[in-house]
């Protein structure tokens, strides 16, 4: 096998980033959501820029085909952004679609072909009834060998959870603590679908019961609420409702520029210094069911390119489509030894004020998971945190100069990792 050190042909920087609100938006199509994200991205470019200078568009999207009955969505989005006749390309790698779109945009600039590229991610999921959303997402698994066994998307991650529980003694309470943490962060994110902590949700349910003259549930604390099968029903054991990311509409946009012209846009660009991507087999074909090999390989590539180690990373947005996924992700990225992420969650290390803040945005769990937009959405959070613009959820007491995103397609068939630097 040919092995060589991977590096970019020239430097690439993020000079603008923005996202639509994540949630349920009746009457808005995918293209409308991208326009929302584009407007915010445009406003984020400190020195302004002429949209006509964008040379190409890369769009991450899982299934506008099934969700919206719309294939060939990239040129339509290009039209809505005024980019015709520039090249527009859609990238589909399940939930890693826009993480990979970002990578393709970076490669296009690094190659010297373009100087300014727009990366977008979008998914409009809520027009379909829940059962059909479940089927559409499940189509990202192996349709010949996994789906006939009755597997769903939550079911596959639930299976990873049982393997992790068996091998490392991980408890259901650890999963719940990931949910509590990410909801705490999401409560401070005005763009989040669940802009509320678990405590807020408990309080609002108690109030509603009282207003309706129904018996008011007497939950002692968040864990008591999450253990209540009425409040938190099983989706695919051991994953309950509050272990699963929601069904979400949303879009995000990132403006990339060649390093040598980045300062024309802002005095404070965020440089991409590491990039990695890898693939893996279906879950049942893996030797170890407690880890995602593609994530380890992609992370290794990114760390090597950046010349940094896992312990150097100050904050990260990782792919928490399910609570178990955040535990596996932080182990695969080398932040914790295999089997030790559950304890790290318990000890508050991944909290916003902990040693290694993870998913300060609220993660996919609380911010929402518009599958094709999730990877680009992670980058918007890193952009805000690194520039000190994250408002109430800004990580305090750290000058953030090194950050990472980790975006997974389905159960890890695809993983893409990027490392960011502020100079």
Partner 1 sequence: MEQREFSGASFYQFLGEGKLMASRCKKCGTLYLPPKPLCTRCYSNEMEWAQMKGKGKLAAFTTIAVAPTLMMEEGYGRDNPYCTGVVELEEGPKISARILGVDAKKPEEIEVGTPLTVEFVERGEGEQKKTFLAFRA
Q: Is 147 in the site for partner 1 (CB under 8 A)?
A: yes
Q: Is 256 in the site for partner 1 (CB under 8 A)?
A: no
Please, are residues 136 and 277 in contact by the beta-carbon 8 Å criterion? Answer: no
Binder among 166, 171, 207, 398 for partner 1 (CB under 8 A): 166
Binder among 18, 23, 75, 155 for partner 1 (CB under 8 A): 155
Binder among 159, 178, 251, 270 for partner 1 (CB under 8 A): 159
What region, left, alpha or beta, does residue 55 occupy, with left being phi > 0 and alpha being psi -120 to 50 degrees?
Answer: alpha
Binder among 9, 145, 221, 398 for partner 1 (CB under 8 A): 145
Please, are residues 123 and 247 in contact by the beta-carbon 8 Å criterion? Answer: no
The total of other beta-carbon atoms located within 10 Å of residue 317's CB is 30
Q: Is 2 in the site for partner 1 (CB under 8 A)?
A: no
Q: How far is the CB of 290 from partner 1 (least distance, A)?
A: 9
Distances (CA, A) of 165 to 158, 232, 282, 331: 10, 20, 20, 14
Q: Residue 123 or 142: which CB sits closer to partner 1? A: 142
Q: Distance between CA atoms of 24 and 359, rounded to whole angstroms? A: 21
Q: Distance between CA atoms of 418 and 298, rounded to whole angstroms? A: 9
Q: Distance between CA atoms of 95 and 97, rounded to whole angstroms? A: 5
The total of other beta-carbon atoms located within 10 Å of residue 71's CB is 10
Answer yes or no: 95 catalytic: yes
Instruction: Look at the block and give the residue holding tokens 């039209």.
Output: 79
Q: How far is the CB of 238 from partner 1 (least distance, A)?
A: 7
Sole window of 142-150, 248-256, 263-271, 383-391 interacting with partner 1 (rule: CB under 8 A): 142-150
Q: Is 158 in the site for partner 1 (CB under 8 A)?
A: yes
Q: Is 160 in the site for partner 1 (CB under 8 A)?
A: yes
Q: Is 232 in the site for partner 1 (CB under 8 A)?
A: no
Measured between alpha carbons, how far apart are the two ends of the chain, in Å? 36
Sole window of 151-159, 260-268, 326-334, 391-399 interacting with partner 1 (rule: CB under 8 A): 151-159
Q: Residue 166 or 208: which CB sits closer to partner 1? A: 166
Q: Distance between CA atoms of 86 and 242, rounded to whole angstroms? A: 42
Binder among 48, 204, 237, 260 for partner 1 (CB under 8 A): 237
Binder among 284, 308, 334, 338 for partner 1 (CB under 8 A): 284
Which is catalytic among the residues 164, 369, 406, 418?
Answer: 369
Q: How far is the CB of 285 from partner 1 (least distance, A)?
A: 7
The pattern of x and - marking residues 352 through 371 that bind partner 1 according to CB under 8 A reads --------------------
Binder among 162, 227, 279, 293 for partner 1 (CB under 8 A): 162
Q: How far is the CB of 288 from partner 1 (least distance, A)?
A: 10
Helix, strand or coil, per DSSP, at residue 93? strand
Binder among 51, 169, 190, 233 for partner 1 (CB under 8 A): 233
Please, are residues 249 and 122 in contact by the beta-carbon 8 Å criterion? Answer: no
Answer yes or no: 369 catalytic: yes
In 11-166, DSSP assigns E strands to 12-19, 56-60, 88-91, 116-124
Beta bridge partners of 95: 93
Helix, strand or coil, per DSSP, at residue 18? strand
Q: Distance between CA atoms of 8 and 16, rounded to whole angstroms? A: 20
Which stretches of the chain bind partner 1, using CB under 8 A?
131-132, 134-135, 138, 142, 144-152, 154-156, 158-163, 165-166, 233-239, 282-286, 289
So which residues are the catalytic ones? 95, 369
């Amino acid at each position: 096998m040919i092995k060589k050190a991977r590096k970019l042909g020239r430097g690439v920087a993020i000079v603008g980033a923005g996202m639509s609100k994540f949630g349920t938006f009746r009457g808005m199509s995918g293209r409308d959501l991208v326009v929302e994200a584009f407007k915010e991205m445009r406003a984020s470019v400190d020195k302004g820029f002429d949209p006509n200078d964008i040379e190409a568009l890369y769009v991450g999207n899982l299934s506008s085909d099934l969700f919206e009955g719309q294939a060939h969505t990239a040129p339509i989005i290009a039209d809505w952004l005024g980019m015709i006749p520039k090249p527009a390309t859609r990238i589909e790698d399940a939930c890693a679609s826009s993480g990979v779109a970002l990578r393709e945009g970076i490669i296009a600039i690094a190659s010297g072909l373009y100087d300014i590229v727009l990366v977008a991610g979008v998914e409009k999921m809520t027009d379909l009834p829940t059962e059909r959303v479940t089927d559409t997402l499940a189509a990202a698994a192996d349709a010949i060998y996994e789906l006939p066994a009755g597997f769903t998307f939550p079911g596959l991650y639930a299976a990873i959870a049982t393997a992790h529980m068996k091998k490392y003694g991980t408890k259901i309470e650890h999963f719940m603590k990931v949910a509590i943490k990410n909801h705490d962060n999401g409560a401070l994110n005005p763009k989040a679908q669940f802009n509320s902590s678990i405590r807020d949700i408990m309080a609002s349910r108690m109030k509603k019961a009282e207003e309706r003259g129904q018996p008011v549930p007497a939950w002692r604390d968040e864990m008591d609420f999450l253990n209540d099968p009425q409040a938190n029903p099983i989706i695919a054991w051991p994953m309950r409702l509050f272990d699963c990311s929601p069904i979400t509409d949303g879009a995000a946009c990132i403006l990339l520029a060649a390093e040598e012209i980045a300062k024309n846009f802002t005095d404070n660009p965020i440089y991409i210094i590491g990039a990695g991507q890898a693939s893996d087999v279906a879950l049942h074909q893996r030797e170890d069911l407690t880890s995602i090999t593609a994530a380890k390989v992609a992370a290794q590539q990114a760390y090597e390119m950046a010349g940094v180690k896992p312990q150097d990373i100050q904050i990260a947005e990782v792919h928490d489509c399910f609570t178990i996924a955040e535990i596996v992700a932080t182990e695969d990225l080398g932040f914790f030894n295999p089997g030790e992420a559950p304890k790290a969650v318990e000890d508050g290390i991944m909290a916003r004020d902990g040693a290694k803040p993870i998913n300060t945005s609220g993660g996919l769990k609380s911010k929402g998971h518009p599958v094709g937009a999730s990877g680009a959405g992670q980058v918007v959070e890193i952009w805000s945190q690194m520039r000190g613009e994250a408002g109430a959820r800004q990580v305090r007491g750290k000058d953030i100069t090194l950050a990472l995103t980790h975006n997974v397609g389905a159960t890890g068939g695809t993983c893409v990792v990027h490392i960011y630097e502020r100079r």
